Structure 1
Amino acid sequence: MTILTAIDADPGCKEVIETAHELATGLDMELVITHVVPEESGKEEATAEIQEIVQSVIDDLDTVDLRIIPEQTHRDLPTGRTANNILQVAEELDPDYIVIGSRKRTGLGKILLGSVSKLVLANADTPVVTVEQIQDAEA
């Protein structure tokens, strides 16, 4: 049994990690944390940054499966690139839950802009838990 969590490099994702970790611990499930990087060349730097953020919430990184994946573009798919990559990992893992962050949008932004969390929520075959991600949170 698995919980898949998708995070970005913003320190505001700590609430997402914390929620996913609490769910995984409480339900005795494996926790897989994934982060999509724009290019293969930025993978090492992103790995160090994400490890630091995750370790600030979860003391022991050995208790999670941390995956940094390069973004892939598929023109024939209906979702955005980052959302598509998250959905591909979900398809491979077949998790019991997906936990993602969601930033508050107001006014016209709710209508015009499709966020990653909305795309994952609309296209996932797995229950999705959204956690309000506080932008620019203090580290």
Structure 2
Amino acid sequence: MVILTAIDRDPGCKGVVETAYELATSMDMELVILHVVPEDGNEEKAREQVEDIVTSVIGTLEGVDLRIMPEQTRRDLPTGRTANHILQVAEDIDPDYIVIGSRKRTGLGKILLGSVSKLILANADVPVVTVEQKRKAEA
């Protein structure tokens, strides 16, 4: 049994990692943490930042399957590339749950989720847990 959580490099996603870790340990499930690096991003730097976020929350990387995946341009995915990479990993590993973050919005944005969150919720074949992702200043 597996929980897949997808995070970015914003320290505000610590709550996402914490929720995924708590779920995984309470249900004795494997935890896979995924970060998709933008095409123009530095994969090594991204790995360091994601490792720092994860270890600041759970204290270790031991027992966590940390995956840093470079985003790739695909002609069949004109939008939502990050979401589609997350969904592809979900298809490959067949998790029992997906845990993702969503930033709090104001006004009309309260009824809208971020594009990645919205695409994951609309297209995942398993239950999706969304966690409010704090802004950097609030983290």
TM-score by length of 1: 0.90
**Alignment of 1:52 onto 2:42:** no
Any idea what the Cα deviations from partners look like across 1:30-73, whole Å, max 9, x if unmatched?
Answer: 00000000137611111011101100001120110000000122
Unaligned runs of at least 5 residues, structure 1: none
* Percentage of pairs with the same residue: 76
5 Å-filtered alignment, 1:1-139, equals: 1-39=1-39, 42-77=42-77, 80-109=80-109, 114-137=114-137
Matched residue count: 139
1:131 is paired with a residue of what secondary structure? strand
- Contact 1:36-1:85 at 8 Å conserved across structures: yes
Q: Could you say if the C-alpha distance between residues 113 and 100 of structure 1 is closer, same or farther in structure 2, counting changes exceeding 3 Å?
A: closer
TM-score by length of 2: 0.90
Question: Displacement, 1:121?
Answer: 0.5
How far apart in 1 are the matches of 2:111 and 2:88?
Answer: 26
The residue identity in structure 2 corresponding to 1:49 is Q
Unaligned runs of at least 5 residues, structure 2: none
Question: Displacement, 1:107?
Answer: 3.2
RMSD across aligned positions (CA): 2.1
Question: Displacement, 1:115?
Answer: 1.8
Q: Could you say if the C-alpha distance between residues 41 and 108 of structure 1 is closer, same or farther in structure 2, counting changes exceeding 3 Å?
A: closer
Q: Which moved more, 1:93-102 or 1:40-49?
A: 40-49
1:22 is paired with a residue of what secondary structure? helix
